[in-house]
């Protein structure tokens, strides 16, 4: 979940590294550091806090040199302190290393190093142990004087030997003061990308860090080790075997990851949803056949018809999308569908039949638990497809096929536009399977019409932002919020609660509306508002009864409704947010947006750090 940036070239490295870290700060912002080599001298600046604190430090104490590494941290091992900030060093202080991941056997490795006389540990981190191990192996191999070419080979050999002792995950970059203009990177279970420039090359945990300098990238595979110089690079496996590593063109530009006129990335991404929803369905609807076209699934019509069960797996917001996908696929295609927490699925023996199809859902395509679930499914011989936003991600590369979201970069830690894109794709999947089974052309046509109407309807919903802002001001002093919904909108209640928790830090829970009387009603009180998602649908009257129960106990009610719902709620709800009419299978895409805005505006009122909420990071690449 940490951010890594490395540079080898002819420009001053420090500013390039700092700018890259700013673009990666959504991946971690507990502490940050940079190490630059100049003329055989390794200099480092690092401190706890945000990138701005590191920038002040480097301005006060400038760094000079044309190659180096940098890091922004989300703490796993060790408290948030200057000492625990990366980079970390070997015993000699000449090797600097940055790391994303978890070295599970670091304590055993450290004990072995101490037994052999190494006691110069300065931090509480697992990363420093790896730095010491690599440094020890390198120093032992360079006991006699060697030339610079031998030094490069021996440093690379030391990295390979050390990583073969490691149990856990890593994305690393390292430099050594005695090995000029030479940087090494490696990955296992944590993303690392090589940026290819002219007379300069880069390493990063995400291409957004380097897209301002190059759009040519090589995405490393697990167990790849790359040696990087100004004008060349070499990639091989941990065992030394070469493989195919094509140079890819990054789809987005540096302009795409700017906030523009918006105050926060989250607000920008909420308002991008008319376009991202449109892009998610672009070229994928067949009006003539009243179905969806998803060639990326890499399955023949016969294979699609043979699917008898579907499992959707993911984490957080992606899991909530999967829960709606369960309703969608079962309603449209009548295929038994289950949703599994990726973290549970990968570690338990889920009964699966031969006709089972698994979908792994992840915005980044790098989520550790979801990637683990994908690998476990494929290991057992089940066809496993990905739904992700990064065409070069590990999930995209390791799955048997899938569907890309085309939502563009999402920088805000709280997922918004990626969620609605996932819902569009799951609707397309339900439509495709449904039309191959029992769904009529008339029903297929109705769903396509509803999908095509969504971008304009979302624009109408976004016009409610000021109304929702006023509601947020009114309820800014509450201690928590309850969310309720039924059927397709029950998972939206879960997602609304998650957004509220993530960026306001308030207590929030999502529940099926009918569960109110089974214990939850004990929480109802005048200072705890309940948000009811009650479109004018087949269960509206049931929802209305639940709202009456809360009203009778003086609980404030914020309602999201459509059609004639507003008239019936007029005398009951304290706040009414009226939405456009839509079929229930696409209604969640409209109902979630006011909840995103409610969480956003309430967080602003409370003075929260919207794009960098405490304890969270965007891409969860560690367990």
Exposure string over 341-368, b if 16+ CB within 10 A, otherwise e: bbbebbeeebebeeebbbbbbbbbbbbb
Cα dist. 131→384, 554, 606 in Å? 37, 60, 42
Judge whether 223 and 243 are in contact, CB under 8 Å.
no
Judge whether 340 and 361 are in contact, CB under 8 Å.
no
Judge whether 99 and 84 are in contact, CB under 8 Å.
no
CA-based nearest residue to 152, from 46, 245, 67, 246: 67
Is 46 annotated as catalytic? no
CA-based nearest residue to 264, from 15, 607, 501: 607
Distance CA 579, CA 594 (A): 9
User: What is the Cβ-side half-sphere exposure of residue 286, based on CA atoms within 13 angstroms?
Assistant: 13
Of all residues in the chain, what percent are helix, strand and coil, respectively (each to 5)?
A: 40, 25, 35
Quick check: helix, strand or coil at residue 6? strand
Return the H-helix or E-strand segment holding 506.
Answer: none
Which pairs with CB-CB distance under 8 Å and at least 24 residues apart come from 561-565? 561/534, 561/535, 561/536, 562/535, 562/536, 562/587, 562/590, 563/535, 563/536, 564/536, 565/534, 565/535, 565/536, 565/540
> In angstroms, how far is the first alpha carbon of the chain from the final one?
10
Other Cβ atoms closer than 10 A to 214: 17
CA-based nearest residue to 29, from 65, 9, 10, 55: 55
The residues facing 360 across adjacent strands are 313, 386
Is 380 annotated as catalytic? no
Catalytic residue, from 46, 94, 268, 618: name it: 618
CA angle (7, 9, 14) in 5-degree steps: 50
Catalytic residue, from 2, 290, 315, 585: name it: 2
Other Cβ atoms closer than 10 A to 251: 16
DSSP 8-state code for residue 80? S
Judge whether 230 and 200 are in contact, CB under 8 Å.
yes
The residues facing 235 across adjacent strands are 226
DSSP 8-state code for residue 348? S
Quick check: helix, strand or coil at residue 421? helix
Judge whether 97 and 85 are in contact, CB under 8 Å.
no
The residues facing 5 across adjacent strands are 70, 204
Distance CA 121, CA 70 (A): 20
What is the chain's alpha carbon radius of gyration, rounded to the nearest angstrom? Answer: 26
Q: Which residues are marked as active site?
A: 2, 618
């Amino acid at each position: 979940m940490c951010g890594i940036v490395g540079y080898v070239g002819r420009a001053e490295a420090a500013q390039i590294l700092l700018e890259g870290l700013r673009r990666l700060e959504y991946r971690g912002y507990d502490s940050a550091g940079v190490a630059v080599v100049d003329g055989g001298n390794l200099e480092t600046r690092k401190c706890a806090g945000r990138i701005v604190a590191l920038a002040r430090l480097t301005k006060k104490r400038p760094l000079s040199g044309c190659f180096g590494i940098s890091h922004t941290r989300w703490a796993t091992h060790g408290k948030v302190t200057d000492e625990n900030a990366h980079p970390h060093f070997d015993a000699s202080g000449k090797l600097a290393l940055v790391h994303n991941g978890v070295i599970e056997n670091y304590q055993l490795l450290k004990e072995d190093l101490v037994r052999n006389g190494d006691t110069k540990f300065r931090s509480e981190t697992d990363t420093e142990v790896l730095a010491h191990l690599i440094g020890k192996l390198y120093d032992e191999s360079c006991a006699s004087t060697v030339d610079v070419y031998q030094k490069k080979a021996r440093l690379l050999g030391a990295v390979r030997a050390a990583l073969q002792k490691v149990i856990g995950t890593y994305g690393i970059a390292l430099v050594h003061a005695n090995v000029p203009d030479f940087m090494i990177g490696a990955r296992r279970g944590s993303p690392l990308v090589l940026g290819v420039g002219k007379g300069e090359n880069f390493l990063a945990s995400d291409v957004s860090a380097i897209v301002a300098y190059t759009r040519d990238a090589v995405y490393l595979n697990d167990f790849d080790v790359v040696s990087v110089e100004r004008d060349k690079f070499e990639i091989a496996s941990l065992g030394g075997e070469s493989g195919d590593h094509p140079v890819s063109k990054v789809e987005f530009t540096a302009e795409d990851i700017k906030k523009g006129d918006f105050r926060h990335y989250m607000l920008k991404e909420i308002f991008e949803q008319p376009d991202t929803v449109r892009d998610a369905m672009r070229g994928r609807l067949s009006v003539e056949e009243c179905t969806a076209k998803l060639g990326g699934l890499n399955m023949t019509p016969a294979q699609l018809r043979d699917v008898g069960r579907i499992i959707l797996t993911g984490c957080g917001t992606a899991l909530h999308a999967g829960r709606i996908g369960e309703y969608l696929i079962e309603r449209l295609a009548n295929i038994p569908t289950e949703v599994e927490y990726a973290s549970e699925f990968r570690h338990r023996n889920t009964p699966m039949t031969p006709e089972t199809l698994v979908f792994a859902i992840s915005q980044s395509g790098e989520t550790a638990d979801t990637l683990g679930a994908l690998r476990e499914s494929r290991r057992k011989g089940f066809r496993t497809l990905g739904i992700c936003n990064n065409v070069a991600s590990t999930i995209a590369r390791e799955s048997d096929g899938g569907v890309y979201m085309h939502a563009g970069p999402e920088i805000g830690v709280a997922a918004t536009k990626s969620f609605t894109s996932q819902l569009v794709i799951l609707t397309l999947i339900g439509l495709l399977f449904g039309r191959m089974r029992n769904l009529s052309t008339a029903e297929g046509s109705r769903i396509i019409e509803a999908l095509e109407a969504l971008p304009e309807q979302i624009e109408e919903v976004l016009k409610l932002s000021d109304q929702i802002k006023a509601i947020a001001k009114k309820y800014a002093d509450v201690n928590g919020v309850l969310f309720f919904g039924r059927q397709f909108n029950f998972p939206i209640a879960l997602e609304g609660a998650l957004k509220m928790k993530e960026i306001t830090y308030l207590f929030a829970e999502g529940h099926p509306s009918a569960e109110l009387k089974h214990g939850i009603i004990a929480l109802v009180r005048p200072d705890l508002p309940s948000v009811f998602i009650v479109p004018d649908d087949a269960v509206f009257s049931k929802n209305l009864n639940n709202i009456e129960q809360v009203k009778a106990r003086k609980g404030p009610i914020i309602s999201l409704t459509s059609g004639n719902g507003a008239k019936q709620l007029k005398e009951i709800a304290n706040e009414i947010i009226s939405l456009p009419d839509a079929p229930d299978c696409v209604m969640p895409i409209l109902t979630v947006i006011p909840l995103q805005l409610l969480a956003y505006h309430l967080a602003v009122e409370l003075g929260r750090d919207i794009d960098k909420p405490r304890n969270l990071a965007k891409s969860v690449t560690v367990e």
